[in-house]
Amino acid sequence: MSCAPGLEKVKEELAALLDELVNVAGVTGFEDAVRHKIAALLEPTGAQLDTDHMGNLYAAVPGRGNERGNRPAVMLCAHMDEVGFVVSNIDAEGFIYLYPLGGIPDHLGPGEWVSLQAGETAVQGVIGMHPPHLPAAGGHSIFVDVGARSRDEVLQMGLDIGTPAIFTHSFRRLGSGRVAGRCLDNRMGCAVLIALLRRLPDSAAPAAVTCVFSTTEEHGMLPGSKPGPVYGARGALVAAMKLRPDLAVVVDSMAAGDIPGTPGHSRQIRLGGGTALRLVDDLTIMRPGMRSLLKKIAAANGIPVQEGMSRSYTDASAVQLAGVPVAALGIPLRYGHSPAQVADLEDMAQTLLFLQALLNNVDKFCSV
């Protein structure tokens, strides 16, 4: 497989995909609109599309021939969902209280614009804050002002308990090939898999490939990524148990430490340094044989890779629980789980190249 017509065009393609994907709301557990968008983008590829009760999207490419036979089955996975909120209460005066879904740092919220997803429409509001001119009593609570004067007026807007909400931040191009957006974690992984699927039908890949765009990866993430039990990635677990692949590769983000205030020993991952091998996190340890093989394939194909560790988890933890050999790839990302995240298109393009190289060497994974 090749990445024709060139890396710069690939980066422009990925940027265009992100522009479409980031602007679609998909709070963890409420990913339907994102799934529909991705399915529409995949229709021209000819991939076989399917879904399940968890809302996962499956896009299958049989590879050489029409029967699986002895060819290995490969699952490539990127989660569609994003961190956000859900309405937990509406008071008599029309203030809307939010419950965070995913690991949103506690200090985020006050003063931010939010969009509450009322079916096909979005209702705009702001997260309230107490100005320094007024005393504030009680603990920290996240409440939204949509301009309503009563609870009934909020209900008439189509909002109710259980309505999902996101920060109102869209996709932006920055300088030096870098981009910003609300949910680059993990719409950039989704964009990479879409770009890969656009290339697979004519590639005669020596594997039966199924790309899974998974749900609810973020659910269970602790605010601030504090240590402790985590319970997310249910969508990927369902997919892995359904597909029972011979190999899985999870494409997610990886926290980049190349920002002010980060100690030197925590700066293993940087923007523009290429795909990161996510060696250890709170729930997953990459097997030594897998790590060695990934590095050999990257070196043989001139693909830059980084190595590092992270708090929390990815879909790889759930896939591993299903007894599937799994590789966890992280696209470097600054300011994860914030309303404005920053990534480098070069890293995304290199991740695409890496996935192509892995598929071309899929037979070598059988002994890992």
- Quick one: three-class SS letters along 157-226? CCCCCCCEEEECCCCEECCCCEEEECCHHHHHHHHHHHHHHHHCCCCCCCCEEEEEEECCCCCCCCHHHC
CA atoms within 13 A on the CB side of 317: 20
Q: How confident is the model at residue 282 (pLDDT cuts 50, 70, 90)?
A: confident
Rounded CA gap, 21 and 138, in Å?
Answer: 39
Rounded CA gap, 211 and 75, in Å?
Answer: 6
Across the chain, what does the average pLDDT equal?
Answer: 88
Biggest CA-to-CA distance, the chain: 71
Q: pLDDT at residue 19 above 90?
A: yes
Q: pLDDT at residue 203 above 60?
A: no
C-alpha distances out from residue 216 to 124, 138, 174, 238, Å: 24, 32, 29, 11
Q: How confident is the model at residue 344 (pLDDT cuts 50, 70, 90)?
A: very high
* pTM given for the model: 0.91
Region 127-153: what's the mean pLDDT?
Answer: 83
* Domains along the chain with CATH numbers: 7-82+170-367 (3.40.630.10), 84-167 (2.40.30.40)
Q: What are phi and psi of 316, to 5 degrees?
A: -60, -35
Rounded CA gap, 133 and 26, in Å?
Answer: 36
Least confident of 30-44, 129-143, 295-309, 312-326: 129-143
- Percent of the chain at pLDDT > 90 equals 65
Query: Which candidate, 118, 192, 113, 198, places its Cα nearest to that of 155?
Result: 118
Q: How confident is the model at residue 228 (pLDDT cuts 50, 70, 90)?
A: very low
Strands 84-90 and 164-167: antiparallel
- 162 phi-psi bin (left φ>0, alpha ψ -120 to 50, beta other): left
Query: Which candidate, 170, 122, 200, places its Cα nearest to that of 20?
Result: 170
Q: Which residue has the tokens 């009934």?
A: 152
